[in-house]
Amino acid sequence: MNILLTGGAGFIGYQWCRRLAAKGHKVVVLDNLSAGPKPKFPAGVRFIKGDILRPDDVSRAFEFGPFDRIDHLAAESSVPLSSKSPLSGFENNVLGTVYLLEACRLHHVPEFLFTSSSTVYGRAAVPTPEEAPFSPASNYGASKAAAECYVMSYARIYGFRARILRLANIIGPTATKGVMAELRAKLSKNRKMLKILGDGTQAKSFLPVEDALDLFEIVLEKSTESVGIYNIGSGKMTTIREIADAVCRDMDCHPVYAFSKTRGGWSGDVEEMNLSVKKVAELKKR
């Protein structure tokens, strides 16, 4: 397949790019490098430095089509930043997605993969199934929910297949965002005191990136729905204190923990998150 991958220089996107290339797919990466410097891509991967918010950059990418699928992983993924700068999240996550969907329509791309987020559910009962309604507690969650709606409507109106993956907290050694990366960064500066956002009892689902990509592949290979929506998570919760303990063990340090006075760590934080993974587990059995 010939695949256009947005966000292919980011944490999840780069690992997905490597996997696609290893399976023999042709991959064109479109990324503005906002997450960091350009990584070393596998041989044969074509990289275009560009922004999904610039239609001319998207058009440049389509010069290397026609594409069999668009894998849209580019996003502004910070919940705290979405509170401080709500327009940035709207532009990157909603408007940028619509620009890609419009390109998908105009160029007759038959399939669209979109990585969404558990934040679309907000403070929902756990474990949360795909049927749970949107109730975002953050601007980031709202932007992902809005983008999902556009993916669904475009797919149904213009007749291409769509896969929407609602991700839990995806972790890995090369991650530069998220609680584990933040804790490591703090400990690298101060190994005696570790400030932890929230009271440490927040409980969430964490999934290693390679396990997440395994589920990406299962959805793409086995899902037959015209619009398929799947939770991608571990099916279990781990507290932030347990995460801190694990990071400290790994870094061989024993700091004093300094917790916040509130349970939530920031505006829009969801104190408990655990996605039901029954649907993707059933798909795996096929």
Active-site residues, by number, are: 140
Three-point CA angle 81, 132, 227, nearest 5°: 90
| Dist CA 226 CA 161 (whole Å) | 5
| Dist CA 188 CA 182 (whole Å) | 10
| Dist CA 240 CA 199 (whole Å) | 8
In angstroms, the Cα distances linking 233 to 60, 219, 278 are 34, 13, 10
| Dist CA 230 CA 137 (whole Å) | 20
| Contact (Cβ atoms closer than 8 angstroms) between residue 168 and residue 118 | yes
| Contact (Cβ atoms closer than 8 angstroms) between residue 123 and residue 272 | yes
Residue 147: closest CA among 122, 129, 168, 120: 120
3-state DSSP assignment of residue 200: coil
Please list the residues that pair with 273 across neighbouring strands: 204
How many residues can be counted in the chain?
A: 286
Six-digit token pair at 130? Answer: 């795909």
